[in-house]
Amino acid sequence: MSDVRYSDQHEWVRLDGDVATVGITQFAAEQLGDVVYVELPDAGHQVGKGAEAAVVESVKAASEVYAPIGGEVIEANRALADDPAKVNADPEGEGWFFKVKIADAGEFAALMTRAQYDAFVKEH
Amino acid sequence: MAEIADTDLKKTPLHALHLELGAKMVPFAGYDMPVQYPTGILKEHLHTRAAAGLFDVSHMGQAFLSGNDPARALELLTPTDVVGLGEGRQRYALLLNDCGTIKDDFMVARLNGEAALYLVVNAATKDSDFAYIAERLKGLAKLVPQPDRALLALQGPKAEAALARHAPDAASLAFMQVSRMDVAGRPAIVGRTGYTGEDGYEISMAAEDAEPIARALLAEPEVVPIGLGARDSLRLEAGLCLYGHDIDETTDPVEANLVWSIGKRRKIEKGFPAAEKIMDAVLNGARRRRVGLKPEGKAPAREGTEIADRTGRVIGRVTSGGFSPTLNAPIAMGYVEAAYADDGTEVNLIVRGKACAARVVPMPFVPNGYKRK
């Protein structure tokens, strides 16, 4: 059974065993507007928690995506290269960015639950 | 802090309508302006290219310039042929400072049977432009800013059909013609011009008439409201300069590839700021040129991106760059050393430290749809 947590940078993380799938939240996708380009890390790349891991660009601007959890990138969502609009259409599903093999489960536990994240969005 | 600053933002006469339409508002040139509506920038952009879009550009500066011979006076500050501007016509012009660099770009119109010229300048520069024009032309012409006028742009291949239902005379205007006429029963100045590369109009009216006219146009089936986001991607596809980005007080008309805006008579007679220097550059070439750039990959190259030759030497910088919804690909414009300005030249754009292959290409990126009759 997988568990989903959220970062204060508006990323979601779904943990299945020691593999975390990372994407941006519906709220973030709405704030960005139409996504036209996504740059993703290569498999094998080590990302530290909080490090710049991807770039997502709307018509207007480019935004960095910071890794909400550290580990080794094992897969990037190559479908986004041809169809970046998936990020708007299904940000918390088919619009996932990359998967990492996590190093520290404590980093996951420290992220927000859905209820905490929803409250966080309301405040900001 | 942010909330205090927000209350300082000025509002256009359509502010309440933008909120009613669900716009996302952002600060721009001191105004609280719609960057997009719920439709989103991509769809707004494509809709303007396919049908018609309505833009609130009331933040721009409007003024009348009157006097004995306001055209002759204005030529002291611009290399455009203003004296030769026919009645009912308008022109693109550059406002130059004494060094011959670009203080602003603006539109100048001569309305039928009127002695005063009608000017439209950029929002961010309007106060300094108006002060400069008034001060430099003191005793020769009188500048009367029109802060109580609003300005709408209706752009796209179906703009004529939509506007003609409320202003039948609009259909008979050709590109760059301008006339006073009623729109939805209210007095307006209508020019067949715009900033999208499409056929279309800019419509100036008294502030209190802006909302009724906007509502009448938005009620037409072809028309949707368009925010500043799509306005920027549309003008970039059209290869048009954004003041403060692609042209400013560090660029001159030759580097900026705007020599076409210098009148033939003016090239001979001169009499505009730094005329000798500018004409020397016209004849002998500028050190750098503004060019169109087409990245080969998918990564957009934003403003500030370094342009390098294929050996890695930096030869210029991107001044506007982003994604073209029409081409579904990145596009950019920027300045490069003159030796690299020819169409087809291969360059690299340094995006986040990576060299991305690109080519110098002619502009506009998307063919324009102007109605030249």
Task: Write down the mean pLDDT value for chain A.
Answer: 95
The pLDDT assigned to A1 comes to 52
pLDDT average, residue stretch B244-269: 97
Q: Domain B287-361: which topology?
A: Elongation Factor Tu (Ef-tu); domain 3 (2.40.30)
Mutate to test the interface with A, among B26, B33, B41 (most CBs of A within 10 A): B41
Are residues B97 and B136 in contact, defined by beta-carbon separation less than 8 angstroms? no
Rounded to an integer, what is the distance from CA B157 to the centroid of its chain? 18
pLDDT of residue B2: 41
| Continuous segment of H or E residues that includes residue A21 | strand A19-24
Most B-contacting residue of A36, A83, A86, A124 (CB-CB within 10 A), to test interface:
A36
Give the closest of A34, A37, A58 to B299, CB-based.
Answer: A37
Question: CA nearest B61: which of B149, B181, B193?
Answer: B149
What tens digit of pLDDT does each residue of B171-220 get? 999 999 999 999 999 999 999 999 999 999 999 999 999 999 999 999 99
**CB proximity under 8 Å: B 33-52 to A:** 35-36, 40-43, 45
Tens of pLDDT, residue by residue over B66-121, are 999 999 999 999 999 999 999 999 999 999 999 999 999 999 999 999 999 999 99
pLDDT tens by residue, B1-36: 344 455 689 999 999 999 999 999 999 999 999 999
- Of B155 and A124, the structure prediction assigns the larger pLDDT to B155
Helices (H), A33-82: 79-82
pLDDT of residue B230 exceeding 60: yes
For the segment B365-373, the average pLDDT, to the nearest whole number, is 93
Q: How far is A59 from chain B (nearest CA, A)?
A: 6
Q: What is the ipTM of this complex?
A: 0.88
Q: Identify whether the C-beta of residue B237 lies closer than 8 Å to the C-beta of residue B328.
A: no
The alpha carbon torsion through B12, B13, B16, B21 (nearest 10 deg) reads -80
pLDDT of residue B264: 96
Residue A60 has pLDDT above 90, yes or no: no
The residues spanned by each domain of chain B are 2-56+148-237, 287-361
* Domain A3-123 CATH assignment equals 2.40.50.100: yes
Cα(B169)–Cα(B177) distance, integer angstroms: 12
B299 at the A interface (CB within 8 A)? yes
User: What's the rounded Cα separation, in Å, for the pair A68 and A52?
Assistant: 10
Interchain CB distance below 8 Å, B299 and A34:
no
Q: B 228-247 residues with CB below 8 A of A?
A: 229-230, 232-233
Q: What are phi and psi of B198, to 5 degrees?
A: -90, 165
- Note the pLDDT of residue B7: 67
Enumerate chain A positions whose Cβ falls within 8 A of a Cβ in B: 33-34, 36-37, 39, 55, 57-62, 81
Q: What is the mean pLDDT of residues B146-174?
A: 98
Give the residue among B332, B334, B338, B335 at the shortest CA–CA distance from B299: B332
SS (H, E, C) chain B: CHHHHHHCCECCCCHHHHHHCCCEEEEECCEEEEEECCCCHHHHHHHHHHCEEEEECCCCEEEEEEECCHHHHHCCCCCCCCCCCCCCEEEEEEEECCCCCEEEEEEEEECCCCCCEEEEECCCCHHHHHHHHHHHCCCCEEEEECCCEEEEEEECCCHHHHHHCCCHHHHHCCCCEEEEEEECCEEEEEECCCCCCCCEEEEEEEHHHHHHHHHHHHCCCCEEECCHHHHHHHHHHCCCCCECCCECCCCCCCCCCCHHHCCHHHHHHCCCCCHHHHHHHHHHCCCEEEEEEEECCCCCCCCCCEEECCCCCEEEEEEEEEEECCCCEEEEEEEEEHHHCCCCCEEEEEECCEEEEEEEECCCCCCCCCCCC
Tokens 């954004």, residue located: B242
What's residue B225's pLDDT? 98
pLDDT for position B6: 58
Longest dimension (CA), chain A: 38
* Distance of residue A94 Cα from the nearest chain B Cα, in angstroms: 20
A59 to B233: CB separation less than 8 angstroms, yes or no: yes
Q: Tell me: the pLDDT tens digits for B340-359?
A: 999 999 999 999 999 999 99
What 8-state DSSP symbol labels residue A112? B
Checking if the pLDDT of B146 tops 90, the result is yes
pLDDT at A124: 77
A37 chain-B contacts, CB cut-off 8 A: 298-300, 323, 330
Q: Cα(B231)–Cα(B24) distance, rounded to whole angstroms?
A: 14
Helix, strand, coil share (%) of chain A residues, nearest 5 = 25, 40, 40
Nearest to B229 among A37, A39, A59 (CB): A59
If pLDDT is split at 50, 70 and 90, which confidence band does B373 have? confident
DSSP state of A113: P
Mark yes or no for CB contact B41/A62 under 8 Å.
Answer: no
Residue A20 carries which DSSP code?
E
Q: What kind of fold does domain B2-56+148-237 have according to CATH?
A: Gyrase A; domain 2 (3.30.1360)
Assess whether pLDDT exceeds 80 at residue B52. Answer: yes
Cβ separation of A36 and B302 shorter than 8 Å?
A: no
The residues that bridge with B337 in the sheet, in sequence order, are: B288
